[in-house]
Structures are given as structure tokens and as C-alpha cells.
């Protein structure tokens, strides 16, 4: 992203819609659609104000990874950090829902 802000949203437009993360200048989104062979997206993004982004094809992405080993390493680190964050948020969400369910059933 060149500048602006993107909000990463799960289940966009549904009752379960929730903000997963916000991304700013220098960060990237959509990498999983380039890594996954089927190209499916796991979340949606919504701009927060004026935002300018770069877009690249699957072929260009793979070419860059092949030519720049440090880019591959950084991508793996970033994906690992994002996976850990998503896992922790899922566990937290599950705990909150379990607590609410228990409170309702105890009443």
C-alpha cells in the first residue's frame, strides 16, 4: 500500500462481520490469494479514507519471490505473525462466546 488505510474484515456484510486488522502504508493485503493455488480470499478489505495501492498478478508475485530471497523470507515471517494473531483472536472470541453462553444458560 502506498498510502491510506485498509480495514481487513471477516464475513463482510453479514451479522458475523468483524474487523480483523487495519493495514497502513508499506503493508500488504491479499497475499493469501496469491499463495493459495485456488486464489480464494479469506477476508475482505474496506478503505478508510483515500487509499492508493499497488496490485500485482500471481505471475509477477511468483517472479518476485523467485528473484528476491529476502522478500520470500519476509513474507514467511509476516504470514507466521498474522497466523499467530488470527489464532489468538479466534481463541479469545471462542472464550467470550462460551462465557456469554454460560451466563445465558445459568440465568
Name the DSSP class of 85: H
- pLDDT category of residue 48 using cuts at 50, 70 and 90: confident
Residue 106 phi, psi dihedral angles, 5° rounding: -85, -15
Using one digit for the tens of pLDDT, what is the confidence trace for 90-107?
899 899 999 999 999 987
- pLDDT category of residue 55 using cuts at 50, 70 and 90: very high
Going 46 to 9 to 45 to 1, the CA torsion angle's sign is positive
42 CB-near residues (< 8 Å, 6+ apart): 10, 32
**Does the pLDDT value for residue 44 go beyond 90?**
yes
pTM equals 0.73
**Does the pLDDT value for residue 5 go beyond 90?**
yes
Using one digit for the tens of pLDDT, what is the confidence trace for 11-20?
999 998 999 9
Break the chain into its structural domains and give their ranges.
Answer: 6-106
With vertex at residue 35, the alpha carbon angle to CA 12 and CA 47, rounded to the nearest 5 degrees, is: 35
DSSP helix/strand/coil, 3: strand
Amino acid at each position: 500500500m502506498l498510502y491510506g488505510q485498509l480495514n481487513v474484515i471477516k464475513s463482510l456484510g453479514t451479522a458475523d462481520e468483524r474487523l480483523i486488522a487495519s493495514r497502513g502504508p508499506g503493508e500488504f493485503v491479499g497475499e493469501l490469494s496469491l499463495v493459495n493455488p485456488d486464489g480464494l480470499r479469506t477476508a475482505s478489505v474496506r478503505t478508510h479514507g483515500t487509499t492508493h495501492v499497488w496490485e500485482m498478478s500471481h505471475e509477477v508475485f511468483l517472479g518476485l519471490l523467485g528473484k528476491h530471497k529476502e522478500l520470500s523470507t519476509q513474507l514467511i515471517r509476516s504470514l507466521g505473525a498474522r497466523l499467530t494473531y488470527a489464532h489468538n483472536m479466534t481463541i479469545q472470541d471462542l472464550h467470550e462466546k462460551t462465557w456469554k453462553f454460560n451466563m445465558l444458560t445459568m440465568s
